[in-house]
Copies of this chain bind each other. A is one copy, B any other.
Amino acid sequence: MEDVIVVYKEKPELNNPILIEGLPGVGNVGKLAAEHLVDQLKGTKFIEIFSKYFPPQVLVEDSGVVKLVNNEMYYVKRDGSANDLIILIGDYQGLTPDGQYELADRMLRIAQEFKVGMTFTLGGYGLGKLIEKPRVLGAVSHEDLVTEMKEFGVTFSKGEPGSGIVGASGLLLGLGKVYGMRSVCLMGETSGYFVDPKAAQAVLEVLSNVLKVKIDFSDLEDKAEQIDMLTSKLKETEPQQEPRKEDLGYIG
């Protein structure tokens, strides 16, 4: 079989599109942010990506119908000369290092096919401690993007993240750069202990300013409140708190 199967539901004409990636990772920050963006902007699914690098697993929807785990791309058409958007979300990242590379390569080929001129990858930056107001850290493919992003409040901090960026958010930047593509990674600070809607919101606030889109954050705020209640309860009942391993895998 093909290592990566790309199923086109539609081949839309897109105006100078921007690619936005948000796959599972630390605190699920990127995934939460990108899914919220799809919801808010009413994105249309046009590509499904299946692969032997994903787990051999189906999810069962409430209706009883199965869905093979995948990654998906949605497009958003915008008025006038505004860049159209392609938003990449999904159930999993590739299971193996070489699978991660093969998937990122394929996604970049799709981006080139639609003449994507700019990519934003969204992720979390795990700090290992609870934080009140998450900053949004940046990393870029080309130096001139640093100045541009600083204007939107993105923090560039020497030595952060010290261990680099692992997974799709890093690879789309790094491998894309090898292919001559421009991109920015936006990382919301997160404890990494829980799914973190607050960090997702911080990332989206920056991105919505960059993209000039209006986003209603009430859903994310509700989720953040639920998590806050949960963590307060845990603080009361458990004398010491340890990170949940599955949330600390890598920066997505």
Contacts and interface: CB of A to CB of B under 8 A. Distances in A.
Interface of A: 1, 5, 7, 50-60, 62-69, 94-95, 97-102, 104-106, 138-143, 146, 156, 158-161, 164-168, 170-171, 173-175, 177-178, 185
Contacts of A105: 1
Given A7-B178, A50-B178, A58-B171, A165 B65 contact: no
A97 B55 contact: yes
Contact of A140 (B65, B101, B139, B167): B65
Given A58-B171, A165-B60, A65 B101 contact: no
A200 B115 CA distance: 48
25 contacts: A1-B102, A5-B178, A50-B178, A52-B97, A52-B98, A52-B100, A54-B97, A55-B97, A56-B166, A57-B164, A57-B170, A57-B174, A58-B171, A59-B164, A60-B164, A60-B165, A63-B146, A64-B138, A65-B139, A65-B143, A66-B139, A66-B140, A66-B185, A68-B174, A69-B174
A73 B161 CA distance: 26
A140 B68 CA distance: 12
A139 B64 CA distance: 5
A170 B5 CA distance: 18
A154 to B, nearest CB: 9
A2 B72 CA distance: 24
Contacts of A57: 164-166, 170-171, 174
Contacts of A95: 97
Q: How many chain copies does the complex carry? A: 4
Q: Which among A54, A95, A138, A139 has the highest number of chain B CB atoms within 10 Å?
A: A139
Contacts of A100: 52, 56
Contacts of A64: 138-140, 143, 146, 156
- Which of A52, A159, A166 has its CB near the most chain B CB atoms (within 10 A)? A52
A52 B170 contact: no
Contacts of A104: 56
Nearest to A155: B64
Nearest to A173: B66
A123 to B, nearest CB: 12
Given A139-B64, A140-B64, A58 B170 contact: yes
A71 B66 CA distance: 25
Given A52-B97, A64-B138, A141-B66, A58 B173 contact: yes
